[in-house]
Structure 1
């Protein structure tokens, strides 16, 4: 049923109505198709089996329609108000506080059952079906109270480039419509939820104990592991854990619930509390623990499955992990259908599926080989979760399986020691010697974790950039994996049957078959990974990234070289880390062959400096020989040398040949190479490196930030006409992009890279008119996000706006 409900949600979001009916009839036809397999069964057994199949098919088909309808209803409710909200609009809001947290010296309140008034003169309140986040400056309200306040709407940002974090999609999956900032006139009424408020206070009290007893670094790790308080986690430690592939131990998940909950339950059972007494106490404790940690999708799934397990033991029924997982998924998706597209939701449920289904098949196959069992289970678990990891993070930790074998056995000790030390620290002073003694295992193990992660991150290829696999590839991958596991299960079953036939022959055959299974499992698994992560060959691809007020251009040549031009912004913070680098990783670009810098203003190199700091591989840095050697230049060159990047200098008329591609420097001769130009006070924009790219009949002109005088100098050189792609000079400045220059260049496609709101007045009206007067198609990153140009045929070019993925513009010369 859960599978049918999930398919219904997927069709409501992405599919067409006909796919719903196709899948509906396919589910109903499934029992009839497999009926032929029952012929070998006794007549008395056929009817119950067929009845169970038909029952399953009808329930799954009903769940399919229910998921499709329910998701449509939720989407329709949100469409009643979301399209009409504007960023910065003032509203009156009232809603009930369901949670709160401290983040970056602010208090974030989560409100549900909300109503808003978009105009204070209108008395009618509009109901909001989703929750709303309030940014407050003080902790004056309690969970459970109803707030009435005035503030400004803060809409969540959409991703504007491939691979970038989509804030709007992230919060939609968590059922949050928007945020409200600049809050004033807050009034609170109603009773507080004393239990939830107490859990919130305990959470930060325990976090304070850990910080005082273990220090900021280790205290932050323990607070994240035990309390789900990620804001206290050191950024460097977080990156170390992610690179090593053990960051999952930081999330509140089934591992934590199993260790804490089952330890408590077994202690209570030994104390003669009985199944019901022990189960109720342990369930209530874990529910309260889940509330304290924020009850995310992963922890809700783990707590719910734990409670179902306890209920089964209390009533004397067997526990089925798959059914419990499916029931929990239905609970989450009924409340929030879009949780299906949350990374945490997917990783949590897929990991459980890998353990309880794929893991059990491998354990059964290697039941006489304890070492192979552990290795095989860890390997198949990685096979299950790696596609999802690559889909969201574009890289995979190579040594994760080995490190998890070393790390996981000690997690339980950390959790038990952390809980005991935290409770003791609340009862006495956190700096007490006894608290330090109880938390000593945490200190030793967490220090060991950090050392292991540091060593692993220093090994070659610790993180393998895979790119974002296509949805089709992932679907085929999982189908092949399921078929392989089914065959392994079938072979294991046949072996057990053969073992019963004869003991002596069985031992010989079993030895051979185990050896065969060992190699086949790993060989097939590696084959699947090669299939999933082998990049698809592509032709020329030119992308102008939306970096705000700045430039950042990626070029993949027909010859297979990866080139980047500039990379910076003046209005987007950490543009290299959060916009440029994720784009490169999502496209599977492991390194840049040539990174050209037009000039060293921050709106052209700020992101490049960050990328060097991140350790991303850049083979060659190409600079203009006449470039002004100021502080920014020296810093860039120093960083490049520090990271082993070759420095290449270009002069006017120099050409770089990469396969069939030719990149020529056509920068104006104005002060070019003049060592005295610093004393003459030349503007860095005038010294921009201008590049002409030519390959297989396609040409592109990249102009940096040159002005009118430099355009005249380029025209005097001549030979620049009928250009296929033109990057507008100086972000579309009115002091560049002159009519005479553009008439000579005669571009087919033009792109202006600038922010919607900037203090320079870009793009200038005159520049826009001059470009359009040439007949060129004009695109803006501020409107369409990332702009991508690809070649369809010899004379056809396609342009795609990232924010309009369903619309493609085709140009024929």
Structure 2
């Protein structure tokens, strides 16, 4: 079988093989069905070529990394850098200010790579594998740092002295997002427009058009070579960007082989090379988004409503990232595309000409549009897409493509696609079960109680971290991933920062109807009973005055204890005696000053939930507390080991999801 027009079949085979091997064996069924289809269509000869591919498809083996390494700084973030070393890439945390391309010799203290997958979708282990990062460490000593002049530094020197302009120059030229535009970036995320401001093939295309002006002075073929060399030099001089690499390789390779291969062949070849080189790249959302969207661009080239079809194709990916869609996002994409193109060209010109005033006007205009649109709160929350939803969605979408190819009506298929989206949205919001979750907020507490059919959503504490916004990074993504449209009540157990610190940010960025931080009388309805327990003793400290809440829902009794110490536990025992508790939120993150022997005479839970940060400075949870729980055969769930976890109650059955 000739390679022309058939490389896509090899690419799909390698992708399915990688997914089956690395994600779930269930995909071997899809792989088998695909092989049967290929044999029927192309004959058995194709199998020989296909089975050669697994021989070279091997995940990279891990090697032991020395604690003293030399390497180059290839990416710079808020509190860490990416070092390119002989061992591979290393994510190194540091307070030191490095420059891009610095050559360093450092001593490292290695940190454990997290193997658990959080419900919001982030998986550190597979993310590292996808990006060829071999280790995570903290820089403990810097032996030497040497800087050398580079094209990257030359670009930086051309940036404006204005902070806002410089931030957009860094974003559009270097692909770097800094603190100054975090608020703008948050607005773009809520509008599902982040992709328009991220360096991509669109920007390479615009850069190519701008540089093509030299064809007026130089012969076309020579000018074309010069342009591609300049673009390649630029792409390889800035931090790695998978979309730019894909766009550049497509530009160069397709121009060389367009007489024999089409664009889909070249894209398939790039997929083959990437997956064979690193099978774990299938876990990179950047790889999936960049290559799949460009695949849609090729597939819809001759279709009507092309831009809308590409937008539809990206919806499951957007939902996987944001768990929501803004109803204005498609129209904004169409309306803002010319503006973004113009903005990018002006940004390029700002490196040469002093046009800060024009840049400020464009930034102001863009911020005004984004602020105006977000004020309508047109965000539709779904949840993290399920595997069945994604499969069904793309079956319908590609059926639409086939119908368009055959020039047949797509009304029925479009109606089915809309019905699927509406049904998934309704299911996301109106789930038929009770859910009690402990959200991983590091060293802090945050629990969600969700009643069936959206009858109530309650948050007990919000967590808090003075170094970053817990609400934006942890709480809100989790709420969206579960399809929670709003919070009816936030209970604050006490005013320690690790329990209430994220409240202000949460109220600004999410719909919160009411906050309760004082003792309340019993609240009761058909689905939930919330009773606050309180001793008759007056306490001097914040921890001692934590709200203690007995929540009955879904056939389980949950006891939330804030940070109460053992003396309060004993006082509660004296007042209430034994209490029927199925699930205990262990007090004070498992501190040895709580969860006393006396307290376990008061409660006999089946499950203990502990909100605690990895490798925290306090040594939580205390060994004595874990021992007491284990002696009583209580199932222990902890955020430092399990991440966020949920207890689901449906039709009388109680299930734990981690």
Q: Is structure 2 residue 130 aligned with structure 1 residue 173?
A: yes
Q: Which of 142, 147, 159 in structure 2 is aligned with 1:210?
A: 159
SS of 2:281's partner is: helix
Answer whether contact 1:199 1:291 (CA < 8 A) is retained: no
Q: Is structure 2 residue 423 aligned with structure 1 residue 527?
A: no
Q: Is structure 2 residue 18 aligned with structure 1 residue 9?
A: yes
1:580 corresponds to = 475
Q: How does 1:98-117 map to 2 (within 5 A)?
A: 100-104=74-78, 108=81, 110-112=83-85, 114=86
Structure 2 CA distance for partners of 1:171 and 1:6, relative to 1, 3 Å: same
Greater RCO (CA < 8 Å, at least 6 residues apart): 2
The whole-number CA distance in structure 2 between the counterparts of 1:312 and 1:520 is: 40
SS of 1:710's partner is: helix
1:299 corresponds to = 244
Q: State the shift of 1:567 in Å.
A: 2.1
Q: How does 1:129-528 map to 2 (within 5 A)?
A: 130-133=88-91, 137=96, 149-157=106-114, 161-163=118-120, 165-180=122-137, 181-186=139-144, 198-205=150-157, 209-212=158-161, 215-231=162-178, 234-265=181-212, 267-271=213-217, 273-275=219-221, 277-312=222-257, 317=259, 320-358=262-300, 360-361=302-303, 363=304, 376-422=305-351, 424=352, 435-437=353-355, 442-461=359-378, 463-492=379-408, 523-528=415-420
The whole-number CA distance in structure 1 between the counterparts of 2:595 and 2:451 is: 26
The TM-score normalised by the length of structure 2 is: 0.88
Q: State the shift of 1:747 in Å.
A: 1.4
Answer whether contact 2:583 2:606 (CA < 8 A) is retained: yes
Q: State the shift of 1:410 in Å.
A: 3.0
Answer whether contact 1:546 1:786 (CA < 8 A) is retained: yes
Answer whether contact 1:570 1:603 (CA < 8 A) is retained: yes
How many residue pairs get aligned? The number is 644
Structure 2 CA distance for partners of 1:406 and 1:273, relative to 1, 3 Å: same
SS of 1:550's partner is: coil
SS of 1:292's partner is: coil
The whole-number CA distance in structure 2 between the counterparts of 1:105 and 1:726 is: 36
Q: Is structure 2 residue 643 aligned with structure 1 residue 785?
A: yes
1:591 corresponds to = 486
User: 1:277-325 CA distances to partner (integer Å, 9 max, x unpaired)?
Assistant: 2332221121112123334110000111111343257xxx277322222
Larger radius of gyration: 1
Answer whether contact 2:59 2:280 (CA < 8 A) is retained: no
The whole-number CA distance in structure 2 between the counterparts of 1:350 and 1:716 is: 63
2:46 corresponds to = 58
The whole-number CA distance in structure 2 between the counterparts of 1:452 and 1:532 is: 30
The TM-score normalised by the length of structure 1 is: 0.72
Q: Is structure 2 residue 414 aligned with structure 1 residue 557?
A: no
The whole-number CA distance in structure 2 between the counterparts of 1:404 and 1:530 is: 22
SS of 1:234's partner is: helix
Q: State the shift of 1:210 in Å.
A: 3.4
The whole-number CA distance in structure 1 between the counterparts of 2:468 and 2:557 is: 32
The whole-number CA distance in structure 1 between the counterparts of 2:624 and 2:83 is: 47
The whole-number CA distance in structure 2 between the counterparts of 1:234 and 1:141 is: 20
Unaligned runs of 5+ in 1: 35-52, 115-127, 364-375, 425-434, 493-515, 626-649, 672-680, 803-813
Q: Is structure 2 residue 539 aligned with structure 1 residue 539?
A: no
Q: Is structure 2 residue 650 aligned with structure 1 residue 733?
A: no
User: 1:106-130 CA distances to partner (integer Å, 9 max, x unpaired)?
Assistant: 8x46324x1xxxxxxxxxxxxx3x3
Q: State the shift of 1:399 in Å.
A: 1.0
Higher percent of residues as helix: 1
Q: Which of 608, 619, 625 in structure 1 is aligned with 2:503?
A: 608
Structure 2 CA distance for partners of 1:735 and 1:26, relative to 1, 3 Å: closer
Answer whether contact 1:165 1:578 (CA < 8 A) is retained: no
Q: Is structure 2 residue 531 aligned with structure 1 residue 664?
A: yes
The whole-number CA distance in structure 2 between the counterparts of 1:109 and 1:765 is: 36
Q: State the shift of 1:141 in Å.
A: 9.6
Answer whether contact 1:93 1:150 (CA < 8 A) is retained: yes
Q: State the shift of 1:562 in Å.
A: 1.7
The whole-number CA distance in structure 1 between the counterparts of 2:629 and 2:635 is: 8
The whole-number CA distance in structure 1 between the counterparts of 2:51 and 2:227 is: 35
Q: State the shift of 1:749 in Å.
A: 1.5
Q: Which of 538, 546, 552 in structure 2 is aligned with 1:694?
A: 552
The whole-number CA distance in structure 2 between the counterparts of 1:454 and 1:235 is: 14
SS of 1:460's partner is: coil
The whole-number CA distance in structure 2 between the counterparts of 1:304 and 1:185 is: 38
Q: State the shift of 1:547 in Å.
A: 2.6
Answer whether contact 1:160 1:546 (CA < 8 A) is retained: no
Q: State the shift of 1:555 in Å.
A: 1.6
Structure 2 CA distance for partners of 1:160 and 1:29, relative to 1, 3 Å: closer
SS of 2:300's partner is: helix
User: 1:16-62 CA distances to partner (integer Å, 9 max, x unpaired)?
Assistant: 3x854x5555344325656xxxxxxxxxxxxxxxxxx349x827x74
Q: How does 1:14-33 map to 2 (within 5 A)?
A: 14-16=23-25, 20=28, 22=29, 25-31=32-38, 33=40
The whole-number CA distance in structure 1 between the counterparts of 2:488 and 2:51 is: 49
The whole-number CA distance in structure 2 between the counterparts of 1:787 and 1:384 is: 31
Q: Which of 601, 622, 627 in structure 2 is aligned with 1:743?
A: 601
User: 1:764-792 CA distances to partner (integer Å, 9 max, x unpaired)?
Assistant: 45544444444433333333333322336
SS of 2:406's partner is: helix
Q: State the shift of 1:233 in Å.
A: 5.2
Structure 2 CA distance for partners of 1:27 and 1:102, relative to 1, 3 Å: closer
The whole-number CA distance in structure 1 between the counterparts of 2:387 and 2:250 is: 29
The whole-number CA distance in structure 2 between the counterparts of 1:65 and 1:393 is: 39
Q: State the shift of 1:616 in Å.
A: 0.7
1:92 corresponds to = 68
The whole-number CA distance in structure 1 between the counterparts of 2:465 and 2:210 is: 53
The whole-number CA distance in structure 1 between the counterparts of 2:580 and 2:79 is: 55
Unaligned runs of 5+ in 2: 1-9
Q: State the shift of 1:231 in Å.
A: 3.1
The whole-number CA distance in structure 1 between the counterparts of 2:633 and 2:155 is: 63
The whole-number CA distance in structure 1 between the counterparts of 2:32 and 2:79 is: 55
Answer whether contact 1:667 1:688 (CA < 8 A) is retained: no
Structure 2 CA distance for partners of 1:283 and 1:141, relative to 1, 3 Å: closer
Q: State the shift of 1:531 in Å.
A: 4.1
